[in-house]
């Protein structure tokens, strides 16, 4: 297993510029630009920072917002939810517990039959592992 960076300079070397901006600096990728937005294959979505398995394709849905959306994480113990008051808003930020990378935000506007939550995640914060390749 690859050693996880401890310093931000090490993270800069490991991640692309866009991944670093999102995961480490809590930026947001432009809507409708993420490579995983229209991913339809069966598989797992893992943290681009540390490889932690976060979401399953079974809970992914098209929210129409421009970012990959999930009704719930694969394992709630792997995601930390914290209050976020940036940009004049009150939101719930989703963070990878293992590497502390910013993933996106959680909203209470998901469908009731899927639990009522919408995990709105930056595509570049994730990598996709196709079930067929596993």
Active site residues: 120
* 10: Cα within 13 Å, side-chain hemisphere: 9
Are 43 and 75 in contact by the 8 Å Cβ rule? The answer is no
Entry field: residues in the chain? 134
Q: Residue 43 CB: number of other CB atoms within 10 A?
A: 18
Per the rule left: phi > 0, alpha: psi between -120 and 50, beta: everything else, 65 is: alpha
Partners of residue 111 on adjacent β-strands = none
- Where do runs of H (alpha helix) occur along the chain? 8-14, 17-23
How many Å apart are CA 73 and CA 21, to the nearest integer?
23
């Amino acid at each position: 297993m690859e050693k996880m960076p401890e310093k931000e300079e090490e993270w800069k070397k490991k991640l692309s510029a866009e991944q670093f901006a999102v995961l480490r600096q809590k930026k947001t990728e432009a809507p409708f630009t993420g490579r995983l937005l229209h991913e339809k294959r069966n598989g797992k979505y893992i943290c681009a920072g540390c490889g932690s398995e976060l979401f399953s394709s079974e809970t992914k849905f098209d929210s129409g917002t421009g970012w990959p959306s999930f009704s719930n994480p694969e394992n709630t113990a792997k995601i930390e939810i914290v209050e976020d008051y940036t940009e004049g808003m009150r939101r719930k930020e989703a963070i990878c517990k293992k590497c502390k990378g910013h993933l996106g935000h959680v909203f209470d506007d998901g469908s009731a039959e899927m639990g009522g939550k919408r995990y709105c995640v930056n595509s570049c914060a994730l990598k996709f592992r196709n079930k067929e390749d596993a």
